[in-house]
Amino acid sequence: MTPQQRVIRAVEFGGPDRVPVHRYIFPGAFYRHGQKLVDFLNQLPDDFGVGQVQMPPPPRDTNGSIRQWRDDWGSVWRGLKGYTSGEVVQPALDTWDKWPDYQFPPLPHFDNLKQRIEATNHKYYTFGCGGTLFEQMQWIRGPANLYMDLAENNDEVNELADRLVDYWTEGITGSLQAGADGCYFSDDWGAQHAMLISPQTWRQFFKPRYKRMFDAVHNSGGHVWFHTDGYTWDILDDFIEIGIDVLNPQHHIMGNERVAQRIAGRICLRSDLDRQHIIPHGTKEEIEDHVKEIIALFGNYDGGLILHGEIGPDVPFENIKVMYQAFEEYGNYPLNCL
């Protein structure tokens, strides 16, 4: 079974040989642990064509631990150098007066994606362009401005959202035509205990726009992957209704068993192991028990689970090893952690 076949079977509940593993490592983890982390990761199975891991280059434009940069959309950011994200300090559209002349950056060329897939004989599961909607609107307008826009439901914010949907849909079509298996979307919708906007506003403004993009993915034969941090309990059923195939929610803060009762077996879960407490601060036994719990709750449906735990600079090297070793020990079918 190739890695691509394994992932597809997991997503479609088709009986993979083991639970696929999706890695995500923040640059700060490499800066902390150095070459031993690189060497360890390069010994692990690869289901998504990561290839040989290398140390990330040192961050540019830093002032001590802070770096600042301008993105392709025209907004100025500031962030900690060990992470991949930060905050917008100067939005590109700080006033709607700039909207008539505002230009989106060009989409990437998809020839490189096609060549990369062909070079491996499509051995690995490959992501295409999905993008963001809510977050990209925040980065263009600034969070405070956008929340006011949504409260007013003005014409400009609707035009911005529709234009972004058209933009991402073009990217979806191009990347799936190049051979991608699915499209990866990302919008963080929750704080620790509640959504960032009301579920009613989400359903009115964002839900139909997401569905337009997700329909474009399915019409081209791909899977929809959707990452969202925070408390999203109120809209879990909506995610399934509009066609998400793989959901990556922050399930631990909502209660693992509670979330499993709602979605397990209905939609494939890309796990988000507890990166606030257990993965950075837990004992070996706590991490192993956490991995076993998630596999037992979500993976016992002839698939339905992608194992993933985000690794930041606060995670000790031994805890990284324990997590990935637990993936290997308990993630084979038939499951031995039930």
Taking only the tens place, the pLDDT of each residue in 188-247 is 999 999 999 999 999 999 999 999 999 999 999 999 999 999 999 999 999 999 999 999
Assigned domain for 335 exists: no
- Assign residue 111 the CATH number of its domain: 3.20.20.210
pLDDT digit string, tens, across residues 151-197: 999 999 999 999 999 999 999 999 999 999 999 999 999 999 999 99
**pLDDT at residue 63, rounded to an integer:** 67
**pLDDT at residue 81, rounded to an integer:** 72
Neighbours of 200 (CB within 10 A): 9
Assigned domain for 273 exists: yes
Residue 46 to residue 241: CA distance in whole angstroms: 31
Assigned domain for 338 exists: no
pLDDT of residue 107 exceeding 90: yes
Confidence label for 84 from pLDDT (cuts 50, 70 and 90) = low
Assigned domain for 28 exists: yes
One-letter-per-residue 3-state SS of 223-265 = EEEEEECCCCHHHHHHHHHCCCCEEEECHHHHCHHHHHHHHCC
**pLDDT at residue 57, rounded to an integer:** 84
Closest CA to 125 of 211, 21, 55, 226: 21
Average pLDDT, the chain: 95
Closest CA to 149 of 88, 93, 167, 158: 158
Helical (H) or strand (E) element with 163: helix 155-177
**pLDDT at residue 182, rounded to an integer:** 98
Residue 316 to residue 15: CA distance in whole angstroms: 34
Do 189 and 230 contact (CB within 8 A), yes or no? yes
**pLDDT at residue 61, rounded to an integer:** 62
**pLDDT at residue 82, rounded to an integer:** 66
Q: Torsion-angle region of residue 197: left (phi > 0), alpha (psi -120 to 50) or beta?
A: beta
Assigned domain for 195 exists: yes
What mean pLDDT do residues 318-322 have?
A: 98
Domain count, the chain: 1
How remote is the C-alpha of 233 from its chain's centroid? 17
**pLDDT at residue 58, rounded to an integer:** 77
Which position has the token pair 């559209």?
Answer: 93
pLDDT digit string, tens, across residues 121-151: 999 999 999 999 999 999 999 999 999 999 9
What mean pLDDT do residues 84-108 have?
A: 94
pLDDT of residue 60 exceeding 70: no
User: Whole domain around residue 244: which residue ranges?
Assistant: 3-330
Of 74-83, 200-209, 329-338, which has the strongest mean pLDDT?
200-209
Assigned domain for 337 exists: no
Do 59 and 27 contact (CB within 8 A), yes or no? yes
Assigned domain for 78 exists: yes
pLDDT of residue 59 exceeding 80: no
**pLDDT at residue 100, rounded to an integer:** 97
What mean pLDDT do residues 49-64 have?
A: 80
Reduced to 3 states (helix: H, G, I; strand: E, B; else coil), residue 44 is coil
- Please report how many Cα atoms fall inside a 13 Å half-sphere around the Cα of residue 211, on the Cβ side: 12
Assigned domain for 132 exists: yes
